[in-house]
Amino acid sequence: MPDAAKVLYSKEDIRRRVAELGRQITEDYAGTSPVLISLLKGSSVFLSDLFREIRLPVRIDFMAISPYGEASEGARVVRIVKDLEQDIGGEDVIIVEDIVDTGLTLSYLMSTLRSRRPHSIEICTLLDRSVVRIAPLEVRYKGFDCPESFVVGYGLDIDERWRNLPGVLTIEDPEALAANPDLLIPFLHGGWDAEDTAGAGSVAGPEGAR
Ligand code: PRP
């Protein structure tokens, strides 16, 4: 029987990469106080780890959007349901995302935020699924490339669950997960790194890691 889920990026993989990104941003923005903008909800986990790895007096802010739908092919219109609390005019802005897929969400958001005249605006995403990109985007900072398969954990959800998984899994057998929605529970307890020992049943544990 195939494993229902496999470790794509373990919590240690992520910890290491987030620290590297933090160091890179610290160097690139030396002497400034950038504003990190997290698009709720998925990116909140990444943001909370990333901004503690940046050795600068950063500020954070949050936005929430809901999709209106496709305006035309290659364009998406979104409605801002929670706007920033800070004026970003003249500021150095870094948008923090958990994943960029088609790029339609960020493409719309970038044009909205650019109209507020920040000094600079860049994208930092944990996962870059560029194979499905529709809208061209320049991603300045990325944690990892992401395969086309369905991914979950470290902020990414399935029906609002599993955002608190400490690493990222690929879902290999969506039907098995639909039949048993608790299948990923072992991964809340361990099964990510060599020292973890959680019995994961048909879910691939450490031996299923990359
Ligand atoms: C995800 C992700 C991005 C968007 C990327 O959010 O956080 O905002 O999708 O997709 P795109 O590149 O195809 O536009 P989602 O809608 O899943 O909401 P969530 O963050 O609340 O989980």
Nearest atom, ligand 1, residue 105 CA: 14
For residue 210, the model assigns a pLDDT of 34
Active site residues: 101
Give the residue, by CA position, lying nearest to ligand 1 atom 20: 42
Confidence band of 8 (pLDDT split at 50, 70, 90): very high
pTM of the entire predicted model = 0.89
Give the residue, by CA position, lying nearest to ligand 1 atom 22: 42
For residue 53, the model assigns a pLDDT of 98
Q: Which domains does the chain have, with CATH numbers?
A: 5-208 (3.40.50.2020)
For residue 63, the model assigns a pLDDT of 97
pLDDT, mean of residues 43-50: 98
Is residue 103 in contact with ligand 1, taking CB distance under 6 Å?
A: yes
pLDDT, mean of residues 197-210: 41
pLDDT at 148 over 60: yes
Distance 99 CA to ligand 1 centre (A): 7
Question: To test the ligand 1 pocket, which listed residue (37, 99, 111, 131) has its Cβ within 8 A of the most ligand atoms?
Answer: 99
pLDDT at 170 over 70: yes
Q: What's the CA gap between 47 and 53, in Å, rounded?
A: 10
Under the phi-then-psi rule, with left for phi > 0, alpha for psi from -120 to 50, and beta for the rest, what region is 103?
left
For residue 190, the model assigns a pLDDT of 76
The continuous run of DSSP H or E covering 103 comes out as none
Contact 69, 84 (CB under 8 A): no
Distance 177 CA to ligand 1 centre (A): 21
pLDDT tens digits, one per residue of 171-186: 999 999 999 989 999 9
C-alpha dist (Å) from residue 145 to 99, 132, 158, 171: 10, 12, 20, 16
